[in-house]
Structure 1
Amino acid sequence: MSKIICSAAIRGAYQIVDKADKKLTEAIEQKGRDCKVEFPNTAYYLPIIYAMTGIPVKTLEDCVHIIGMARSMLPPLPAEKHWVPYLGHTLDAGMATLFAEEVYEVCKYLIGPPPVDGIWLGAADDIIMRERGIEFVDGTAPGFAAIVGCAPDADTAVKIARELQEKNLYVFMQSDNLGISFAEQLEEKGVQMGWDTRLVPFGKETSAAVYSLGFANRAALSFGNVPPGEARRNLLYNKNRIFAFVLALGTAVTDEQYANAAGAINYGFPTITNIDIPEILPTGVCTYEHVVSRVPVDKIVDRCIEVRGLKISIHKVDIPVAYGPAFEGERIRKDDMQIEIGGPGVPAFEFVCTKEADEVEDGKIQVIGPDLDDMPQGPGVSIGIVAEVTGRKMQPDFEPIFERQMHRFLGEAQGIFHMGQRDIIRHRISKDAFKAGLRLKHIGKIIHAKFHGEFGAIIDKVQVTLYTKKEDVEGKLKEVRAAFAERDARLGDMTDDSVNLFYSCTLCQSFAPSHVCIVTPERSGLCGSVSWLDGKAGYEINPTGPNQPIEKRKVIDDRLGQWDGTNEFLYSSSNRALEKVSLYSIMTDPMTSCGCFECISAMLPMANGIMVVDRDFTEMTPSGMKFSTMAGTVGGGLQTPGFMGHSKFYLGSKKFISADGGLARVVWMPKALKEELSEQLEKASKEMDLENFLDKIADETVAQTEEEVVEYMQKINHPALSMDPMF
């Protein structure tokens, strides 16, 4: 263990604890000891402290106790001559640093300077946490780089950021070097930052590093079902499942930065830097080396991946712009766009159809009509994209699955913004992408490459035709819409009773080891992105993957939705943690959740019904809990009667908690969610003879507590009032 690093880290820890103590004293003077503290719209209190100690920090008085705990963890500074090279002292100093910095940062939310300011985003709220968590689950985001300091210049910063994006990593930015930060360098070059592009600027102070490490802790608590207070399990979870590293850039490392690096090593997150500092090469806490220095900036990203032990899978797409999931959230403003495809009143579509083998020439890409060079700049462009595919295992039922994936495939190209599907699409291509050489043929190249790359087990050949004359697009739309209608009718007739196989989705088990999604024709995956047909296609594509067929076999309880086949699969696939699951009940052995659900349903005992809340609703609910709090009760592979995670689609299903009374049990949901699902809910309520039912569901405009919900139900005579008790 380097004495220089150890001494610096411990000195830095003392400085940070003192700084946090001073900030806390100021906050108490201004707000009082009973003042509540929180990172806005987040569960798990101050997540590092909560994960490591189990202590819920709720007030400034609680923070006083934490600062005292941090001080008690500070080791003595290494002696000049008789120094013991003990890593534990440095790790303790690192953890004391993180405890103190969480207190310091939460006090900033009370008395300033505000953590959310300009480009700085502060703590990620729980909506972002759960939306982005699925990307760490399914591997589209293999890890994150916590960047400290700044690059030698702004152009190099952009180059490093793009390289990390192309490797699908998140980039968390905090701290500075001599007053300049990596995020400010990206801003100087006009790089779009935020969660959508995976370039996340947390804060300019070094203390903002707690937002990166807190994100990792929250992943373990939320998805991994690691109980608060079990520090060792949380740290091991992060070492083995959250592949992160510290990338330190600049000309020197401060004592405070050393202290934070020591904190990160506790998690198994190594530090890699271009700066000339001592190295810690022996393995131990980290998978490989702990500190690697003097790495040239043009090779530092690859060295980071090597040291952390990351496995990156990249399939090169032959187009003149960067390509990867990091660009899917890119927004192209009106002033920055070359053209806009589709939109209101502009005919445009995307269509996948199955052909015979002799009708498809693999790799053939045609643009029938003018290309971008011959189109006027701006909106109003009509394009029809037809992808014709063939393969021995190809089935017409897979066509809508491939169409939905086109949104992701095209959106991952830098300079292409993609929205919608089928005949309701709106795309933009940026001026920068056009200048780089991007043309419409490259859209065809992306589709060809990605269809082969991800559906190669099913597809043998792909050809793509792009129609750009408005009259051609309108002519094709007639036959395309007829195909859509036929397809919808075919899928709409499928029910749970009409099939003998359901499909599993265990994609999220890397975060929630005991969770198993069982997907049926009438119940999609709780994340909303996996239908029964998706499960079927997933199994065809990868027979050993997360989507496995489940034979229903003997009926145990038809009302609850229990079969011996589903129970047996659950028991074996949940690592023998769970024995039974009821697909149609929220009260009896409900299905588990990983944490990626679109909605949570929760029983309201006084109302004899349930409330439904989606992740976009951040206010208090009638249950007395926010979405983020309930998510901790439901997620992590737990089976909690009275609570259930599910997709929005499931609310319109005839099987929605049918064992407990179905849709008629819904007594409250957020107004925005009710409006979003109005057409679906109205159709379902009519089929159940629930007259004017949508108006009978309370929302936050008429009821904010359970008592107010009951009062509203009595006023409008909600059907749940006369139903059998739920328990």
Structure 2
Amino acid sequence: MSKIIATAAIRGAHKIVGRAEESLRQALETYGPDAPVAFPNTGYYLPVIYGMTGMVVEKVGDLVPVLERAKALLPPVPSEKVWLPYLGPALDAGMATLFADEIIEAIKYLGTPPYTMTSKPTDDNLWLGAADDVILRKRGIEFVDGTAPGFAAVVGAAPTNEIAVKIARELQEKNLYVFMSAETDGRSFAEQLAEEGVELGWETRLVPFGKDITATVFSLGFAARAAMSFGGVKPGDFRRVLLYNKNRIFAFVIALGYVDDEKYAQAAGAINFGFPTIADTDIPQILPTGICTYEHVVSNVPHDKIVSRAIEVRGLKITVTKVPVPVAYGPAFEGESVRKGDMHVEFGGQRTPAFELVRMRDAAEVEDGKIEVIGPDVDTVPEGGRLPLGIVVDVYGRKMQEDFEPVLERRIHYFINYAQGVWHMGQRDINWLRISKAAFKQGFRLRHFGDILYAKMKSEFASILDRVQVTIYTDEAKVLEMREEARRIYAHRDERLKALSDDTVDTFYSCTLCQSFAPTHVCVVLPERVGLCGSVSWLDAKASYEINPHGCNQPVPKKDVIDPVKGQWQSCNDFIFQNSRGTIERVNFYTIMEYPLTSCGCFEAIIVMLPECNGFMIVNREHAGMTPCGMTFSTLAGMIGGGVQTPGFMGIGKAYLASKKFIIADGGLARIVWMPKDFKEQMRHVLEERAEELGLGRDFLDKIADETVGVTAEEILPFLEEKGHPALTMDPLL
């Protein structure tokens, strides 16, 4: 290993550990040893420390032994005359640096935190700070399913804002997350992007953690939590945490500008995780392989090559289908918004008539690759103008089925949103689209909607589609005519879906996507029960199986009924037993009280028994507060996740609440006695309809307690009694 790098890293580690020692001394004097200390809304405490050592830090005094652990890891600074070129001391110094980073950053949260603690910057603060568990669950799954192939930790600043934007856009186009920290000569990469009007935040995958060099640890903390949350690694099993990251989290450091001792120390910490450093300056290199998959430090890389070189050094394989549009294209732009002042033209959104439709047609009716625009293009309207819009995608395929139409149609939202400067929301005839001024100036026109949909439909659904043809309508009379046809098709689909039930099919479908982090979990998707993540319906799973018969969605035969009320079939038990590695022997689909479906970790909400109220509470992932069962969502998730059966507790998708089969063996919707207020309002419309169907009355939701009533069973019980909640008169749960 390079003597210069090792010496610099060890010097830097001594500086940061010394800084942590001084911060801790001041915190003990100011706040005392019993002051609570934590990163916001996480069950992983200080995640690098927790993952590497298993040490739980809950108060300031708990940081003292952590600091001693960091100091013990520090090797002496090498002398000028004698040097043994061993990698071990530098790696130890790197880990000591990360421990010290977390001490410093945790103490910052004791006073007024310098961070927004939101998912995107505010008007007066660019820095987000540590990601909470809601973000971890939502974003971390993307590293498991391949939606996000990895992340780049960008440290420092580019020579110019223009170079910074080019690097960021290239990383986004590769679908990588960009975690930003530290500065060079007072300038940071995130500040450069913000100055150029680039939208930052988790939604655009450009995440500004903090300007301090110690904020770099938030990137490593995210990686450590991924190992514990999705890899099933136990806290303190440092070897498995590090190996999981080397083998599963494809991350790397891009060091921009002058690399000082503290940055060398951070790089040494990252190398422990198998994350190499690629620099734009002429620093010493570490080219032999060892801890990292390939080289450890590569330097003097030109800015136009730095992203591709970093991907190569990390051993990351990225397949990006080039979509022929004049703007950047990729999932990283899905969360980008186009505000009214930034738009060139908009369509729909109740401002003009609009719709979108996917139709299955006969072979003779579809000319593969044909894209036609009927009506005026966007360059015929003044800036800020409006046009009607109809998008019709006609498809033919030997394996295409009518049931797949809405599955493909929902993908229109994602495919169009992946274009930079193009914004889409809604579907069917309530869609709303905007094209930004910047995208228009780069040449984006209506035909490019067709280019996007043709390329993505053919690439993602190649196994079921042989021909795809796209027609874009902006002539208002034609849009109105075609919208009526679309509405007839929508109505026909709705009637078919209403007729689809658990009782009318002979096959359910599995989803084992999450087995990479919950090896014994087998999600089973029913017509009347959406997947726990909320994003996989029975039709989606069926379509997925047709598209890829060897994928994570497999048919589960429904034969040999054991208990029709609780929903247990022998064939389902056999499938689950085999695919849970012989762990789960039986499952009831319609109760959570006995052999419930296992939970992975990606569920949208959790349902929990409240015996004192003879009912159940439901808490959604977004709710950070306490609940009547005495646990927060994060704590509950940690308890029931990982593929275990936990009677009385179960993860669910939100849409399951409106199902006719919703915990029907336990009493159904009438058993719900508590849910967060915002969640209740979000679900109000569908739950009121379902309550009326059940004879509970449209005012049933107002009988359900929320956090404004109380967060303990004792607090909410008088409210339930006053409102005459039906759960109180039902048969006892226990």
- AA aligned to 1:340 is E
1:423 maps to 2:425: no
Q: 1:726 aligns with which of 713, 716, 733?
A: 733
| d(CA) in 1 for partners of 2:230, 2:732 | 32
Matches within 5 A, 1:434-473: 434-473=440-479
**Deviating more after overlay: 626-635 vs 544-553:** 626-635
Matches within 5 A, 1:701-712: 701-712=708-719
Aligned to 1:594: 600
Q: 1:316 to 1:522 in 2, by over 3 A?
A: same
Per-residue deviation, 1:147: 0.6
- AA aligned to 1:178 is D
- AA aligned to 1:586 is I
1:124 maps to 2:131: yes
Per-residue deviation, 1:46: 1.1
Q: 1:301 aligns with which of 294, 303, 307?
A: 307
Q: 2:629 aligns with which of 623, 627, 633?
A: 623
Q: 1:589 to 1:54 in 2, by over 3 A?
A: farther
Per-residue deviation, 1:550: 1.2
Aligned to 2:580: 574
Q: Is the 8 A contact 2:8 2:264 kept in 1?
A: yes
CA-to-partner distance for each residue in 1:181-235, whole Å, 9 max, x for gaps? 1112212222111111111111111101111111111222222222222222222
CA-to-partner distance for each residue in 1:491-545, whole Å, 9 max, x for gaps? 1111112111111112222333332211110111111111000001001111111
Aligned to 2:43: 43
Aligned to 2:395: 389
Q: Is the 8 A contact 1:340 1:379 kept in 2?
A: yes
| d(CA) in 1 for partners of 2:542, 2:507 | 9
Aligned to 2:145: 138
**Deviating more after overlay: 715-724 vs 512-521:** 715-724
Q: Is the 8 A contact 1:597 1:646 kept in 2?
A: yes
Aligned to 1:161: 168
Per-residue deviation, 1:267: 1.2
Matches within 5 A, 1:481-630: 481-630=487-636
| d(CA) in 1 for partners of 2:645, 2:295 | 40
Per-residue deviation, 1:155: 1.1
- AA aligned to 1:523 is R
CA-to-partner distance for each residue in 1:563-596, whole Å, 9 max, x for gaps? 2322222233233343333222222222223322
Q: 1:259 aligns with which of 256, 265, 268?
A: 265
| d(CA) in 1 for partners of 2:286, 2:434 | 48
Q: 1:235 to 1:640 in 2, by over 3 A?
A: farther
Per-residue deviation, 1:261: 1.1
| d(CA) in 2 for partners of 1:39, 1:147 | 22
SS of the equivalent of 2:706 reads: coil
| d(CA) in 2 for partners of 1:42, 1:367 | 50
Q: 1:549 to 1:113 in 2, by over 3 A?
A: closer
CA-to-partner distance for each residue in 1:426-475, whole Å, 9 max, x for gaps? 11100000000000010011111111011111111111111112232222
CA-to-partner distance for each residue in 1:678-718, whole Å, 9 max, x for gaps? 22212222333323422221111222222112222222222
Per-residue deviation, 1:273: 1.4
Aligned to 1:66: 66
1:6 maps to 2:12: no
Aligned to 1:228: 235
**Deviating more after overlay: 77-86 vs 179-188:** 77-86
Aligned to 2:119: none
Aligned CA RMSD, in angstroms, stands at 1.7
Aligned to 2:673: 667
CA-to-partner distance for each residue in 1:52-93, whole Å, 9 max, x for gaps? 222221111112221122112212223444433332222221
Matches within 5 A, 1:351-390: 351-378=357-384, 380-390=386-396
- AA aligned to 1:248 is A
Aligned to 1:195: 202
Q: TM-score, normalised to structure 1's length?
A: 0.97
SS of the equivalent of 2:290 reads: coil
Q: Is the 8 A contact 1:222 1:631 kept in 2?
A: no
SS of the equivalent of 1:629 reads: helix
Per-residue deviation, 1:380: 4.1
| d(CA) in 1 for partners of 2:102, 2:580 | 35
- AA aligned to 1:712 is F
Aligned residues: 726
Aligned to 2:192: 185
Q: TM-score, normalised to structure 2's length?
A: 0.96
Aligned to 1:346: 352
SS of the equivalent of 1:11 reads: helix
CA-to-partner distance for each residue in 1:642-674, whole Å, 9 max, x for gaps? 221111110111222223222222110011211
Between the two proteins, what is the percent identity of the paired residues? 62
SS of the equivalent of 1:233 reads: helix
Aligned to 1:115: 115
- AA aligned to 1:683 is E
- AA aligned to 1:532 is W
**Deviating more after overlay: 106-115 vs 645-654:** 106-115
| d(CA) in 2 for partners of 1:286, 1:577 | 35
Q: Is the 8 A contact 1:105 1:115 kept in 2?
A: no
SS of the equivalent of 1:173 reads: strand
- AA aligned to 1:697 is I
| d(CA) in 2 for partners of 1:113, 1:567 | 50
Q: Is the 8 A contact 1:223 1:635 kept in 2?
A: no
Q: 1:237 to 1:567 in 2, by over 3 A?
A: farther
CA-to-partner distance for each residue in 1:401-426, whole Å, 9 max, x for gaps? 11100000000001101101001111
Aligned to 2:18: 18
Per-residue deviation, 1:379: 5.2
Q: Is the 8 A contact 2:348 2:389 kept in 1?
A: yes
Q: 1:112 to 1:88 in 2, by over 3 A?
A: farther
Q: Is the 8 A contact 1:343 1:380 kept in 2?
A: no
SS of the equivalent of 1:110 reads: coil
Q: Is the 8 A contact 1:336 1:430 kept in 2?
A: yes
SS of the equivalent of 2:214 reads: helix
Per-residue deviation, 1:723: 2.8
| d(CA) in 1 for partners of 2:731, 2:224 | 42
- AA aligned to 1:165 is Q
In structure 1, runs of 5+ residues without a counterpart are: none
| d(CA) in 2 for partners of 1:260, 1:390 | 54
Q: Is the 8 A contact 2:114 2:127 kept in 1?
A: no
Aligned to 2:95: 95
| d(CA) in 2 for partners of 1:604, 1:475 | 53
SS of the equivalent of 2:345 reads: strand
SS of the equivalent of 2:138 reads: helix
| d(CA) in 2 for partners of 1:31, 1:725 | 48
SS of the equivalent of 2:628 reads: coil
Q: 1:577 to 1:174 in 2, by over 3 A?
A: farther
Q: 1:679 aligns with which of 670, 678, 685?
A: 685
| d(CA) in 2 for partners of 1:111, 1:634 | 34
SS of the equivalent of 2:459 reads: helix
| d(CA) in 1 for partners of 2:595, 2:292 | 40
Q: Is the 8 A contact 1:27 1:111 kept in 2?
A: no
**Deviating more after overlay: 457-466 vs 589-598:** 589-598
| d(CA) in 1 for partners of 2:169, 2:54 | 38
- AA aligned to 1:173 is M
Per-residue deviation, 1:244: 0.7
Q: Is the 8 A contact 1:494 1:521 kept in 2?
A: yes
Per-residue deviation, 1:389: 0.9
| d(CA) in 2 for partners of 1:639, 1:86 | 48
Q: Is the 8 A contact 1:133 1:596 kept in 2?
A: no
Per-residue deviation, 1:345: 4.6
SS of the equivalent of 1:152 reads: coil
Q: Is the 8 A contact 2:115 2:125 kept in 1?
A: no
